[in-house]
Structure 1
Amino acid sequence: MNKWPYISPGIPDEYFGRAEGVPMTKSEIRVLSLSKLRLFPQAVVYDVGAGSGSVAIECKLWLPDGRVLAIEKNPRAVELIKQNAERLEADLEIVAGNAPDCLADLPPADRIFVGGSGGRLEAILEGCDLQLKAGGWLVVNSVSLASGPQAYSFLKSRGYDCEATQVSIAVSSSRGSSELWQARNPVVIIAARKGGG
């Protein structure tokens, strides 16, 4: 499959290689998450818990002069990010390590996307808060009942201006001779602006 030939976000999921146990932010949710990040030229962007790298790759494609860091602890996922970035010609930086521990050595961020936390959401958000510049945006995607409210509460307690959007998407699917709606898991997207900028 060739590089995505368009200048619009939302690269179809089939453009990305997949591996069992490695999550990926689906195309429709990715579009919304990218819009909430409010990207700008030459931004420094983290994708924490990058999984297959889909968000980081799209960020880099829209920010050729920016610096995009895909942060991932799973070695299998790190290899997959490399393959996907190569396939889609996205020159991003891959940080193989555990967040928040590996964040302290990175350049301060203008934008941070948290797609996965491995059960360490509060610690990761604390690390992200330390690295995010004043006025920067942090976007958290949540699929569990607990993590959305946890992230929202944490960010509000730190003085962030927060907005939350719950998204339920269904896509068409062929079953025999019928076309049906196939529901996907609801996702909560929390976008929060750090004060002081």
Structure 2
Amino acid sequence: MAPLWPYVTPGIPDHLFEQLPGIPISKREVRLLMVGALRLKPDAQLWDLGAGTGTLVVEAALLCPQGQVVAVERDPEVANLIRLNCDRFQLSNVQVVEGMAPDCLDTLPPHPDCVMIEGGKSMREVVEAAWHHLPSGGRLVVTTGTLETLYGIAETFAQLCVRNVEIVQPAINRLETRGHQQVFKAIDPVFLLSGEKLD
């Protein structure tokens, strides 16, 4: 168990992660929904495509101590930030791959139980390519912040015959202190799509 987060539950506060200016992170409340959608087992093999700063990578790796998390990130500086965050939480079950999906998928450890796709360009192409690497019973979870991408992913899910599809668009507000007042600040909305591959 990582001393920085000595709990078995997910939901690590955002400030415990190393961050870079201008690089957004998946907020804690959204990560909780993402982790729930993945339905991870202790020995799960997870690909996180477009892993960003690695916040979900850390949460998932802590929940899968006998498993492996592969974090794919195209930006070398951001990929190094994932490594730094994994070191902060003393994780040894994460492999960071500098590359761009879908081009690098054939080089990853095969047969992931779960694939997480976090935003990015060419989403439909990445979803289709990742789907073909999932074994029967595998789960696919995709996030996007735009309505246009939501439509494209939903169409792709239908074409691929993704089963048990769920689509969630949470509205989350956080209490913050501004001067002498407390106000609720909205977290940027995100669409969360998930489903299973059942052959």
Q: TM-score range by the shorter chain?
A: over 0.9
User: What is the aligned partner in structure 2 of residue 55 from structure 1?
Assistant: 56
* Shift of residue 21, structure 1, vs aligned partner: 3.3
* Shift of residue 194, structure 1, vs aligned partner: 1.1
115, 130, 140: which is aligned to 1:112?
A: 115
User: What is the aligned partner in structure 1 of residue 145 from structure 2?
Assistant: 143
For residues 118 and 41 of structure 2, what CA distance do their matches in structure 1 show?
20
1:105-148 per-residue CA deviation (whole Å, 9 max, x = no partner) reads: 2211110111122x110111121011111111100111112112
Summarize the alignment of residues 143-162 of structure 1 with structure 2, pairs less than 5 Å apart: 143-161=145-163, 162=165
User: What is the aligned partner in structure 2 of residue 195 from structure 1?
Assistant: 198
Query: Residue 153 of structure 1 aligns to a residue in which SS?
Result: helix
For residues 192 and 68 of structure 2, what CA distance do their matches in structure 1 show?
23
Summarize the alignment of residues 96-107 of structure 1 with structure 2, pairs less than 5 Å apart: 96-106=98-108, 107=110
Summarize the alignment of residues 57-96 of structure 1 with structure 2, pairs less than 5 Å apart: 57-91=58-92, 92-96=94-98
Runs of 4+ with >2 A deviation: 20-23
* Shift of residue 159, structure 1, vs aligned partner: 0.4
Does residue 190 of structure 2 align to residue 182 of structure 1? Answer: no
1:39-64 per-residue CA deviation (whole Å, 9 max, x = no partner) reads: 01221100110000011111111101
For residues 106 and 23 of structure 2, what CA distance do their matches in structure 1 show?
25
Q: Is the 8 A contact 1:163 1:190 kept in 2?
A: yes
TM norm structure 2: 0.94
Residue correspondences, number:
195
Query: Residue 11 of structure 2 aligns to a residue in which SS?
Result: coil
Q: Is the 8 A contact 1:50 1:116 kept in 2?
A: no
User: What is the aligned partner in structure 2 of residue 20 from structure 1?
Assistant: 21
Deviates more, 1:124-133 or 1:17-26: 17-26
1:88-117 per-residue CA deviation (whole Å, 9 max, x = no partner) reads: 112211011011111112211110111122
RMSD over aligned CA atoms reads 1.3
For residues 147 and 18 of structure 1, what CA distance do their matches in structure 2 show?
26
